[in-house]
Structure 1
Amino acid sequence: MRVRPPAPKKPTPGLLHEYADRLVAFEYSSSNRVKPHTLLFISGLGDGLGTVAYLDDIVAALDDTQWSVFSPVISSSYGGWGTSGLGRDTDEMARCIDYIRHYKSGSDVDERKRKIVIMGHSTGSQDVMTYISSPNPRHPQPGLDPGHGHKQMPVLRPQVDGAIMQAPVSDRQAIEVVLREGNERHSAEYMRKVVGDAVASAKKHTYEDYDALDTIIPLPVTAAIGYPASTAISSRRFLSLTSPDAPASPSEDDLFSSDLTVERLRKTFGMVRHRGVLGREKGLLVLYSGSDPAVPPHVDKERLLTRWQRATDAERQYWHAESGIIPGATHTLEGARQVEQRKELVRRVRVFLRDVEGAS
């Protein structure tokens, strides 16, 4: 029997902006009106334009408001995440925000009243946390910028009026489940050996050519873990995602693991109040999925969120009241069984944006 292919999606109206050299952002727009406020959406590992299903729900819910939605393509979009990193992501987010501010100068709303909120899904949440908590500008990273052939210098990140993290999960703890239980193709013993050998090699040969060029982990190794077989992953990003020395010495990407120390949380969540990049109290919305398959069963989600909030709000109240667990929500909230969870996600985002818009 011939299987009928799925019906193609309807065309999405909008504008394509080139915000930096060879980098574009899509603005969801059903009219030519320049809306004063902006939600900048950063997708997760392997995602790109239009690949996070619930973004359509958010766009539809904001259609009759003063908010427009931008979805940028950054160096780590689609398969680029394997050789990119959070620092480069946040630099490119900063360039996109600078562009949007210039573009929105055509709005009839006073510049001081125009708002920008950044929202990250999954690994996009790591980008958001890095944007609001790391040194500004960040410290230069080793390695070459592949687009220009020299060391990429960091940029000063503009202040934002709000930040949203949806489905912030630990890549390291998800990998640990595979090492403990194996997967459909390989036993746990095999996976521990393969990953252990890869980690040892990556630590020993992280860079070549006088520490300028990243080395690449063999594709059979990363494919065995469950990463796309066509995605090249550098030793530096592999070590960042697997974070083999955690929890004592977690890597750059290891921001959301449940076993991180209080001291580590002080250096991430706890730095939000010191950097000045998140410009207002009640400006952080954290939305954790209650039935996220990427979260190991032993993780106490409520306790984890409490630890994050305590680290963030030690002096000022940055967490928004709508933060918390969305019961029954999966990682991407995709599919017919996630309709109510998507509605709840959109409701919380709308309340948050309304409060940001109303703030002086």
Structure 2
Amino acid sequence: MELKMLTSLTRGQPGVLHNCTKSLVAFEYTRGAPRKPHTLLFVGGLGDGLGSVDYLGDIVRALEPTEWTVFSLVLSSSYGGWGMGRLGKDIDELAQCVQYIREYKTPQFGAGKVVIMGHSTGSQDVLHYLNCPNPRPPHPVFDKSWTPIIRTPVDGAIMQAPVSDREGILWVLKCGTERDSPAAMRNLYNNAVEDARRATYEDDDTVDTIVPISVTARIGYPASAPVSSRRFLSLVSPDSPEKPEEDDLFSSDLSDEQLRQTFGMVDARGLLNQKLMVLYSGRDQSVPPWVDKEALLLRWRTALDNGGDRQLWDPRSMVVPNASHALSDSDQAEPRRILVERVTAFLDDIQRA
């Protein structure tokens, strides 16, 4: 059984539950009612929900004496909803929460700072928020009666554990599992991709089909979460690196030109007022051993800063030594200390700027 460090979240944490919209909620971690004009808005990864990322408790505690509060957003794709979700809808909901926070806090404190932070797939949401056209392009199936949402700029952004789902799956295929050999895994994967491509939608192409859970569970996804053919193809991105799908933002084999279309578009979109900080886990269980993490961060920095007139990469960005994916293992005290130190210093700079 995994031993987890006791955090303020596991002990229970007071705060305020906000209805950002009728169906979208966020929890603000706050003790009492001190003056808190600035906001760190946190988005978890696949399968995450309120309080499921342990290190967030360390950040909440560190920010208690400051003028920052932490909002944790519960997306429609949170918990088991990720398999039916998509980045486009995520950033719409993120935009609604950013707008809500500004409208909620400004009358009380004046204009405050808002920083968005993503863990794992939450990092994909952060980058998609910053680099996607504004408003985003509509989805041909699900956005026929959709009202475009204009995203407002944020003051800073943090990506923690921005890993490639596709490379994680490729590693499973290469190594196999206790149940399946690499050859059996590859056959299972190829059949799943072929079936998903052949029948991505049903009912006159208006409804998602579902990849059999018996298949997705053997590939490595939780057996408790249904995964649509559409999201499966986006995550595994079978035509990459030549033609990456929406979710394939962080793979190490993407070309410099492809990175210019993602990281390199951030400055042009004008949705990041100050800096982007990336904290990559040095011992991330989801990253194959062939990925050179330091080299990958350098390529991202080059694409981001060469994409416009401003230098948007924060120099505190780093590969955190010995850090696991979510910094939840029993030996993660030092990686978590580094993470909290970097995040609080980053927010301090954002506040002073």
Fold match, TM over 0.5? yes
Quote how far apart the aligned CAs of 1:324 are: 1.2
Give the counterpart of 2:255 among 261, 267, 271. Answer: 261
Matched, 1:188 2:182: yes
Secondary structure of the corresponding residue to residue 16 of structure 2:
strand
Tell whether the 8 Å contact from 1:290 to 1:326 is kept in structure 2 after alignment. yes
**2:205 pairs with 1:204:** no
After the TM superposition, list the runs of 4 or more consecutive aligned residues in structure 1 that deviate by more than 3 angstroms.
6-9, 150-154
2:91 corresponds to which letter in structure 1?
A: T
Matched residue, 1:334: 328
**Counterpart mapping for 1:97-136 below 5 A:** 97-108=98-109, 110-111=110-111, 114-136=112-134
Q: Find the aligned partners of 2:166 and 2:60 in 1 and give their Cα distance.
A: 32
Quote the residue 2:241 is aligned against. 247
Q: Aligned partners of 2:300 and 2:277: how far apart in 1? A: 12
Shift of 1:342: 0.2
**Structure 1 pair 298–127 and aligned structure 2 pair: CA distance change class (3 A):** same
The answer to whether the aligner puts 1:172 opposite 2:170 as a matched pair is no
Cα distance between partner residues in 1 of 2:204 and 2:145: 13
> Distance in 2 between the 1:48 and 1:86 partners?
16
RMSD over aligned Cα, in angstroms? 1.5
1:34 deviation in Å?
4.9
Q: Partners of 1:337 and 1:348 in 2: how far apart?
A: 19
Deviation of the 1:223 alpha carbon: 0.6
Larger mean Cα displacement after TM superposition, 11-20 or 60-69: 11-20
1:3 is matched with none
Using the alignment, how far apart are the partners of 2:231 and 2:182 within structure 1? 23
Q: What amino acid sits opposite 1:310 in the alignment?
A: T
Deviation at 1:11, TM superposition (A): 2.2
Partners of 1:92 and 1:258 lie apart in 2 by 28
1:33 Cα deviation after fit:
3.1
Partner amino acid, structure 1, of 2:69: S
- The one-letter code matched in structure 1 to 2:315 is A
TM-score (norm 1): 0.93
**Where does residue 161 of structure 1 map in the other structure?**
155
1:215 CA drift (Å) = 0.9
Aligned residue for 1:288, secondary structure, equals: strand
How far apart, CA to CA, are the structure 2 residues paired with 1:153 and 1:174? 35
Aligned residue number for residue 282 of structure 2: 290
Alignment partners' CA distance in 2, 1:172 and 1:117: 28
1:89 and 1:37 mapped to 2: Cα distance?
22
Contact 1:143/1:214 (CA < 8 Å) preserved in 2? no
One-letter code aligned to 1:143 = V
What is the alpha-carbon distance in structure 2 between the residues aligned to residue 181 and residue 338 of structure 1?
A: 26
Percent identity of the aligned residues? Answer: 57
Aligned to 2:325, the other structure's residue is in SS state: coil
Letter in 2 for 1:199: V
Deviations 1:28-72 (A, max 9, x none): 011123510000000011000000000000000000000000001
| Inter-partner Cα distance in structure 2 for 1:258 and 1:122 | 15
Q: 1:157, 1:151 → 2: CA distance? A: 19
- 8 Å contact from structure 1 (residues 266, 311) kept in 2: yes
Asked if the contact 1:34/1:106 (under 8 Å) is kept, the reply is no
Task: Give yes or no for contact 1:284–1:318 (8 Å, CA) kept in 2.
Answer: yes
Which AA in structure 1 matches 2:296? L
Cα deviation for residue 144 of structure 1 reads 3.2
Q: Structure 2 unaligned runs (5+)? A: none
Letter matched to residue 247 of structure 1: P
Aligned equivalents of 1:151, 1:33: Cα separation in 2? 42
Name the counterpart of 2:266: 272
Matches within 5 A, 1:23-42: 23-42=24-43
Gaps of 5+ in 1: 1-5
In structure 2, what residue type is equivalent to 1:339?
Answer: A
Which amino acid in 1 is paired with 2:115? V
Q: Provide the residue aligned with 1:353 in structure 2.
A: 347
CA–CA distance in structure 2, aligned partners of residues 24 and 302 of structure 1:
36
Compute the displacement of 1:153 (Å): 3.5
Compared CA separation, residues 310 and 9, structure 1 to 2 (3 A): closer
